[in-house]
Structure 1
Amino acid sequence: MDTWKISGGESLFGSVRIPSAKNSVLPLMAASLLCSGTVTLTDVPNLSDVMASRRILQSLGCKVRWKGRTLSITPGQQIGSTVPEEYMRAMRSSVFYLAPLLVRTGKALIYTPGGCRLGARPIDLHLKGLADMGAEIRQSGNALEVTAPTGLHGAQISLRFPSVGATETLLMAAVCARGETILRGVAIEPEVIDLIRFLQSAGACITGAGSRTLHIMGRDFLSGTQFRPCPDRITAATVLCAVAGCGGEALLTNTCNDDLLPIVRVLRRAGCSIAACGPHSLAISSCGRVGGVENLFTDVHPAFPTDAAPLVGAAMLRAQGETAITDTIFENRFSCAEGFSALGASVSVSGRTLYVHGVPALRAARICAPDLRGGAALVIAALQAEGESYLTGIDHIARGYEDLTSLLGKLGARIVSTHWMDE
């Protein structure tokens, strides 16, 4: 069983470059199906979810070339309309292929998407919006068939919740639909803005980026384009929280500082010193025993992001004071709490809230990553613990971090791959 051996108890010092955002790259790859020419994405991280998306594109008839950190996607003349079930189950983001396939082929056959088990993650908002645009939907078990034999038409759609996934799905549907679509109540996360910028670079007519209302005038086709995805704010949050919890000093480069403001504000409240070094870099210093942040709530952007909740929880395990983090997005966000407890932390979960009572020290333990961000949180926790901890379930982490061991290793973190049976 693949395992990381994490030697904790040391402060972190150094400089790291933040890679492009997984949550931007994946919808951009799906949106490439809307383009008539080659799409070139630069600075693409080597993630297992990116590899899964590459397999989906190839199964649909696209030519995909990955050289270094540049990914080139050329849609074929004949695009398939079915995403194989095993590929759908590999990751949540496979649902992004629904709208592009519907636009290109008039039909999409997909299956229940996979991903981390964070609780209910319905796609009803995606489907209702597509139905408003003329799609017909039939579901049988895990299979979902959506058809639009005469194409999609513009519509006025109001989302009851600013869902990132639904916003991105309906954007991809609307850019090539007949007439005008008005989307109200949309998500404004940085990754949504990135998708809008990508579609605009390919010729889409979209106004209102950054607001809760988007106006999209459909085009017959989009062209090929070259695009660089935005920096990964959650990877940046991971580094910031690791330094906050372990103590030390670090410089983060290739950041979008505005996108990190919700996280920066929380860590400053906890006592960290964080300063911008220009618009695309941040410096952080921490004594290693921060103060508790009392009541913290996640919500949609620009509020504190759900993906960062377990990371901040890990940074607070040795805090002087109490911390309570409530996640309003997912009901099972804090599955990592069991691992925190194994490391000697004083934590409990009630409903959607993680309660942390800071302790002076953590101890090494054998722990298992329950999901992507919870796994990264356990790495942060283990780096604070005295001794050598062993973390399994690292496949979850590989979905969203290109090489977390190397990234944190640049700051002096000692994390090496081993096997359970070796120890």
Structure 2
Amino acid sequence: MKKLVIHGGRRLSGEVTIGGAKNSTVALIPAAILAETPVKFDSVPDILDVYNLQAILNSMNVTSTFRGGELMIDPTNIVESELPSTAIKSLRASYYFMGSLLGRFGRATVTFPGGDNIGPRPIDQHIKGFEALGATVHEENYTVYINAENGLKAARIFLDVVSVGATMNIIMAAVHAEGTTVLENAAREPEIIDLATFLNNMGAQIRGAGTDVIRITGVKKLESKNTHTIIPDRIEAGTYLALAAAQGDGVLVKNVIPEHLESFTAKLLEMGVDLEVREDSIYVPKSVNLQPIHIKTAPFPGFATDLQQPVTPLLTLASGTSVIQETIYPERTRHIPELQKLGVDISNDVYGQINVTQSSNFHGARVSAAEIRAGASLVATGLMADGITEVINAEHVLRGYDHIVHKLTMLNADIQIEEE
């Protein structure tokens, strides 16, 4: 077990470079097994989820090497085998092996995934898609068994709810299916475009990624010919933008795609943060006289649920009470009692509404990161607080933030990783 130890109160300045998108990476790595040639990615974030996915690949005789942001994956000698339950249960994104294994072999056996505990996140839409493509699915002893004995056939699939995971899984399953699959009410996140771009560059025929109707025409073979550069992580970028506005004296956030952050930066501008948006970077000057705002999380292009916790420390500086309505995961509130230990005036109700009132005199405390984004909010508040803050269960933070200690240290933070 690890913990992050923060000596708070130091003002931040300088520049920080955003890594590749975690939510792309955790789908692209399983998608790599659909190729019949070695695959190379760059701008891969150095996060624990990558190493857990490598362990899963290794169990299937898929070799991989990861160094300096470059990840090589060779699936040419892949074999079907039981996937390691420890790695599967360590991250929710392991469910992407359902779609990629189904697309590669016509069958998949995957233990129920783990990952962050932020309330119910069912996989019924994934299963609906697999069954529409001709697979049979049954669950037994926390394991999902998927089989398409007669091969996968194209279908018209309408998702009952917008789901990033189901959209990606169905795309991976359908790339080798006979005919053209039409996926309606699909999620539109940039990470889905990233996955489709990767697959198309290997010979897939996917049209409409980034819209709510995606068409996937099955092909016989996928071959990688070029290195795929993963898009910048918009959630990491938003986390540093909020932190820079809260505790910075001038911070430049580099390697961003501003269009991916428009719903987030619009709220910062509404607060009174004087952002300078450039082509691939955003400068955040010292912020004063901030105003309270109302946030409602929504699927892309709306305000991302993954950013409602990282933005919370900034809201404490606004002159009044800000309101967050969490519509995606109403149970995403486990950061609230931990923030209260640090002196944050924050509360929630049974309807999923979170109230954040102007606070001051934060003080260090020992707090626990229940999941990735909750941990990010605790780190940011610890950097703002007087005294020493210890964030235990830091593995959750390290699962989602590339080189976070190094990046914060370069911004003048006093933060270390220690064994708990």
Tell me whether the two structures share a fold, i.e. TM-score over 0.5. yes
Deviation at 1:292, TM superposition (A): 1.5
Q: Is the 8 A contact 1:245 1:289 kept in 2?
A: no
Superposed CA deviations along residues 214-243 of structure 1, whole A, max 9, x for unmatched, are: 111100111124201100001111111111
Deviation at 1:288, TM superposition (A): 5.5
What does residue 263 of structure 2 align with? 262
Establish whether residue 375 from structure 1 lines up as the match of residue 378 from structure 2.
Answer: no
Superposed CA deviations along residues 43-96 of structure 1, whole A, max 9, x for unmatched, are: 212111000111111111212122322111111344215322222101000000
Structure 1's consecutive aligned runs of 4 or more residues displaced over 6 angstroms after TM superposition are: none
Amino acid paired to 2:240: V
Identity of aligned residues (%): 33
Q: Is the 8 A contact 1:239 1:408 kept in 2?
A: no
What does residue 105 of structure 1 align with? 105
Q: Is the 8 A contact 2:41 2:72 kept in 1?
A: yes
What does residue 298 of structure 1 align with? 297
Q: How far apart, in 2, do the equivalents of 1:40 and 1:346 lie?
A: 47
Q: Is the 8 A contact 2:38 2:76 kept in 1?
A: no
Deviation at 1:150, TM superposition (A): 2.2
Amino acid paired to 1:80: E
What does residue 231 of structure 2 align with? 230
When the two chains are superposed, the root-mean-square deviation of aligned CA atoms in Å is 1.4
Q: Pick which of 256-265 and 5-14 moved more.
A: 5-14
What does residue 24 of structure 2 align with? 24
Q: How many residues align?
A: 418
Q: Is the 8 A contact 2:176 2:220 kept in 1?
A: yes
Deviation at 1:209, TM superposition (A): 2.3
Q: Is the 8 A contact 2:196 2:206 kept in 1?
A: yes
Deviation at 1:180, TM superposition (A): 0.7
Task: Give unpaired runs (5+ residues) of structure 1.
Answer: none
User: Normalising by the residue count of structure 2, what TM-score does the alignment of the two structures yield?
Assistant: 0.97
Establish whether residue 309 from structure 1 lines up as the match of residue 308 from structure 2.
Answer: yes
What does residue 242 of structure 2 align with? 241
What does residue 187 of structure 2 align with? 187
Amino acid paired to 1:58: N
Amino acid paired to 1:239: Y
The within-5 A match list for 1:7-406 is 7-225=7-225, 226-277=227-278, 279-287=279-287, 290-293=290-293, 295-351=294-350, 352-406=352-406
Q: How far apart, in 1, do the equivalents of 2:311 and 2:234 lie?
A: 14
Deviation at 1:319, TM superposition (A): 2.3
Q: Secondary structure at the match of 1:41?
A: strand
Q: How far apart, in 1, do the equivalents of 2:39 and 2:250 lie?
A: 39
Q: Is the 8 A contact 1:183 1:215 kept in 2?
A: yes
Amino acid paired to 1:100: S
Q: Secondary structure at the match of 1:286?
A: coil
Q: Secondary structure at the match of 2:324?
A: strand
Q: Pick which of 299-308 and 360-369 moved more.
A: 360-369
Task: Give unpaired runs (5+ residues) of structure 2.
Answer: none
Q: Is the 8 A contact 2:175 2:219 kept in 1?
A: yes
Instruction: Classify 1:292/1:389 alpha carbon distance in 2 versus 1 (closer, same or farther; 3 Å).
Output: same
User: Normalising by the residue count of structure 1, what TM-score does the alignment of the two structures yield?
Assistant: 0.96
Q: Is the 8 A contact 1:16 1:411 kept in 2?
A: yes
Q: How far apart, in 1, do the equivalents of 2:316 and 2:32 lie?
A: 42
Amino acid paired to 1:235: E
Deviation at 1:316, TM superposition (A): 1.2
Amino acid paired to 1:250: V
